[in-house]
Amino acid sequence: MSLKICVLIVIMFAVFSCGKKTKQNKARGYRQQDACEPLEFQCSSGWCIQEDWRCDTEKDCPDNSDELKCPTDCTGEHQLKCNNGICISREYQCDGDDDCGDKTDETGCSALACSGGEVKCDNNLCIEESWVCDGDNDCRDGWDESNCR
């Protein structure tokens, strides 16, 4: 009986974790160090994460310290308030997915500039500079993998 419960829990965990949207579908860069690099935020636990993951409405630090003392009204630098009132991470703006449910996050994308360390694909998606010519079609239109040697 307890074996069946354990198997069921493992299956449920796998199903829920596979369906979770990850930022740009790339692995997150966690590192534990005494001091973080520029453009990184140091979690209370000592881990370093990308600065723009702070106050983005998602738990990125293992101890959730990246979401402490953040605006609760969706006015944070890394937050986007949808027209329907939902608050999402600004990283999901112009990613080709209707994360708001009302397309707020997918309008006016051609006028938006990408964040530091990112490049804009021909279809207006912003991806990490390091993802260009890495063998993955991150732009979804092949732009980041064209003209590679």
Measured from the Cβ of residue 106, the count of other Cβ atoms closer than 10 Å reads: 17
Q: Which fold is adopted by the domain 27-70?
A: Low-density Lipoprotein Receptor (4.10.400)
Q: Is 125 exposed, middle or buried (0-12, 13-18, 19+ CB in 10 A)?
A: buried
Residues 63 and 56 sit within 8 Å (Cβ to Cβ): no
Q: What is the mean pLDDT of residues 71-95?
A: 87
Mean pLDDT of 10-21: 38
Tell whether pTM > 0.85. Answer: no
* pLDDT reported for residue 8: 41
Mean per-residue pLDDT, 80-107: 90
- pLDDT at residue 22 greater than cutoff 50: no
Domain 113-149 coded CATH 2.60.40.10: no
pLDDT above 80 (res 6): no
- 71-108 matches 27-70 in CATH topology: yes
- Cβ atoms of 61 and 50 within 8 Å: the answer is no
Instruction: Give the Cβ contact number of residue 99 at 10 Å.
Output: 20
- For the domain 71-108, what is the CATH code? 4.10.400.10
Can you tell me whether residue 10 is helix, strand or coil?
helix
Give the containing element (helix H, strand E) for 15: helix 2-19
Find out whether 4 and 13 touch, Cβ atoms under 8 Å: no
Amino acid 27: pLDDT: 35
Residues 6+ apart with CB under 8 A from 85: none
15: pLDDT confidence band, cut at 50, 70 and 90? very low
- Reported residue count of the chain is 149
Q: What is the domain partition of the chain in residue ranges?
A: 27-70, 71-108, 113-149
Identify which of 57, 50, 48 has the alpha carbon closest to the alpha carbon of residue 80.
Answer: 57
Are 33 and 46 within 8 A, CB to CB?
Answer: yes
Q: What pLDDT is recorded for position 12?
A: 43
